[in-house]
Structure 1
Amino acid sequence: MFNKNKLLLATGLLIVAGSTQASYEIKLSDNDTITFGGYIKLDTRYVDGNINSITKDYWVGAGTVGDISQFSFRATESRFNTKYVHGDVTGFIELDFHGGGGNEIVSNSANPRIRHAFIKYKNILVGQTWSTFVNTSALAEAADFAGPLNAAAFIRQGQIRYTHGNLQVAIENPESDKGDPSQDSVPDVIAKYTFNGDWGNVSIAGLARQLNTVGGQSESAFGYGIAGKINTFGKDDIRFQYHGGETGRYVGVVAARDLVGEEVEETTSYMVAYRHFWTDNLRSTAFYGRTTTATADADRRHWGVNIFKNYTKALSFGVEVGNFESVDQNADSDYVQFSAKYVL
């Protein structure tokens, strides 16, 4: 059996090397498979204005204020993943290259980092993956990674999740952002219900947490969200998210913090994106997102318009123009970004 499995694996690897289709599955036996996937992506980006993203690779919910006129090439969004299936057990791991390291003087090296690493058995999932609070189908298609992150639920973390039909309930990693995480003794609790059909999907999610301040206080925090993707005309779709309450680090990628001093931050966030197919291989998305906060008085906005063309099923090129604005800091920047993406 061992020699047979090695032969099947070697044959599968040869198929992978010679194939141009997206994702590659190697069948080891009737109950065992290994699947390889991911993509290679180059981003060429020009930013001009008086604020720059703190990641430098793509816009998040905050930026560094200061004059900027910068052109850059980056391939750090590229990623690869492997899925192992053994009957009812699935293991999945994915890495990208946003882990830092290297320099732009000689090598432009970048360290790999874990995006996902989880085990799933029937209706139980354990490990690190998208928070149950997130509806990934509601993220915009964009050259600038995931579009208006300043207003989207976007977080991956360790968790234990139970799924029953359309209902998901999870306990997840606690973290008192801008507080005292050393006192985080209660996991975050999240529940989400998703309605879906041929028309698309809509999810409703709730979040309950205990936050610990630097001053030694424990505060309760509750947040909610509604998000979805609705099919419209032909292959077109509209994607949306609306979040309110004390969502903190779960929404906006540091557009809002969990705590401001000893106070729990209250946040309102919304985003909308419309994707239109000009032809089967040519499509555009226009998006807008905004987050405002009650205590810190943050006001972050991001809009963009793009166009993508698939030259093969796996190969696409795109260009996007947009603007990121931090109203509370009286700063904004325009950007134009070109991307080339090959799906493995």
Structure 2
Amino acid sequence: MAIRATAAMTVLGLASQAQAFEIQAGDVNADIYGYARLTATYDINEKITGDNSTLAGDFGKVSGSDNEGHFDASATQSRIGVKASLPQDFKITVEGDFASGGNFRLRHAFGEYNGILAGQTWSNYNSFTGNTPTLDFNGSAGWAGYQLRTAQLRYTTGGLSVSVEDPKGSLDGTTIVVNGDEVDTDKDTMPAFTARYEGSADALSFAVAGLLKQNAYENEVNDTDDTAMGYGMFGAAKFKASDMVSIQGALNYTDGANAYLYQSGSADAYLDGEDLETISGYGASIGTSLSLGNGRSVNLTYGMVELDVENDGDEETRSNIIANYMWTPVKSVMMGVEYQYWKTETKGGDSEDANRLMFAAQYNF
């Protein structure tokens, strides 16, 4: 087997040129790629680090606590993957990281042939077109679609792609107690269906997508059940104003499909008596990137989500502002510092916020 440096990879929406290792064995060509990364954070107010170990911010942790000043460092975001090309244009990708407490976590595992993709990868109801680069693993609220991966069957032709996917989401009020044990009565009765189109014209890149899913529950104890359809749609765009400046953003609306409303933290529907009532919401983000030359850039983004909630005490709005400076001294190394501001607000007007700082050093191969 001959090993040599070859290709490039994209990490966190950044077009970071990195050297992969190509292994040639018979008719199989395989690229091994990944990165090692250190992330360090200082939570100025309360600690809002999420439950995983990447040190990403979490809206659910913004509570107004007076327990100030928290430092953390982690390397668990580091990742490794393999892309293999076989005869007759058949391709396989398997990739994982260590974000699950240092244990290996599967991110991507899929095959591709003749426009057909099968396996787990980014949801088709997703786009990175309008995303502004952040150091934070979770990034900005209001990004377009489901910014995670799911099992799916997808077909792509040109800029159009359609998919049948494992549905995501949750319901409120459908948990019952049977013999002292909590039992979830919600269920998936059909897959999620998505369609997306991506294109470009001169300095403009864009993406639009739609999604349809069904929410359902069945309570066998009192013989009740109901279903409610959910849907979503988004648009995302990036405009390159010059060689130095770009402006990008997204707008996303969902009703009964809030798992696809990025960082909303909301259920798709709730049980009102014996009927399911869907919850709607929208998200938006806007950002700009400024290239300073010599591998240096400044990025600023604002994102928010707002839900159509009923009660004054219910969380209605989540928003964050993220600003960073990134430096790529050589093509395989990225370092950066970032300021983050996180805020939540109820329908009644009560709000909490938190500030934090982040540093990252990433070495790609």
Structure 1 CA distance for aligned equivalents of residues 162 and 28 of structure 2: 29
Alpha-carbon shift at residue 254 of structure 1 (Å): 4.5
User: What's 1:239 paired with?
Assistant: 248
Structure 1: gaps (5+ residues): 1-7, 101-109
Counterpart contact for 1:46–1:71, Cα < 8 Å: yes
Which is richer in helix?
1
RMSD in angstroms over aligned alpha carbons? 2.3
Which deviates more from structure 2 when the two are superposed, residues 83-92 or residues 170-179? Answer: 170-179
The offset of 1:240, in angstroms, is 1.0
2:26 equivalent to 1:26: no
Displacement of 1:249 in angstroms is: 0.4
Select which of 140, 152, 166 maps to 1:148: 140
**Which residue does the alignment assign to 1:41?**
37
Query: In the alignment, is the contact (CA less than 8 A) between 1:137 and 1:229 conserved in 2?
Result: yes
Q: 1:207 to 1:21 in 2, by over 3 A?
A: closer
Match of 2:83 in 1: 83
Alignment-derived partner of residue 112 in structure 2:
120
- Note if contact 1:54-1:64 (Cα within 8 Å) is conserved in structure 2: no
Offset at 1:292? Answer: 0.3
Identify if the C-alpha distance between structure 1 residues 205 and 150 changes in structure 2 by more than 3 Å, giving closer, same or farther: closer
Q: Distance in 2 between matches of 1:168 and 1:193?
A: 6
Q: Cα offset for 1:317?
A: 1.1
CA distance in 1, matches of 2:90, 2:354: 47
Deviations for 1:21-64, whole angstroms, at most 9, x for unmatched residues? Answer: 522223335x5310011111111101122462433621245335
Match of 2:326 in 1: 308
Indicate conservation of the 8 Å contact 2:131/2:143, yes or no.
no
Cα distance in structure 2, aligned partners of 1:126 and 1:137? 23
TM-score (norm 1): 0.86
2:356 to 327, 335, 339: 335
Superposition deviation, residue 182 in structure 1: 5.5
Match of 2:61 in 1: 63
2:152 equivalent among 159, 166, 169 = 159
Of 116, 129, 135, the residue aligned with 1:137 is 129
For residues 205 and 222 of structure 1, do their structure 2 counterparts lie closer, same or farther at Cα, with a shift above 3 Å needed?
Answer: same
- Find the residue that maps to 1:298 and give its secondary structure: strand
Pairs aligned (count): 321
Distance in 2 separating the partners of 1:317 and 1:181? 47
TM-aligned CA distance change 1:286 to 1:168, over 3 Å:
same
Partner residue in 1 for 2:341: 323
CA apart distance, 1:340: 0.5
Name the CA shift for 1:272/1:39 in 2 (closer, same or farther; >3 Å): same
Contact 1:32 1:85 in 2 (8 A): yes
Q: Deviations over 1:134-183 (max 9, x none)?
A: 11233221111252045442121000001111111101002341365763
2:155 partner letter: Y
Moved more, 152-161 or 118-127: 152-161
Please show how residues 100-119 of structure 1 align to structure 2 within 5 Å: 100=101, 110-119=102-111
CA distance in 1: counterparts of 2:38 and 2:185, whole angstroms: 36
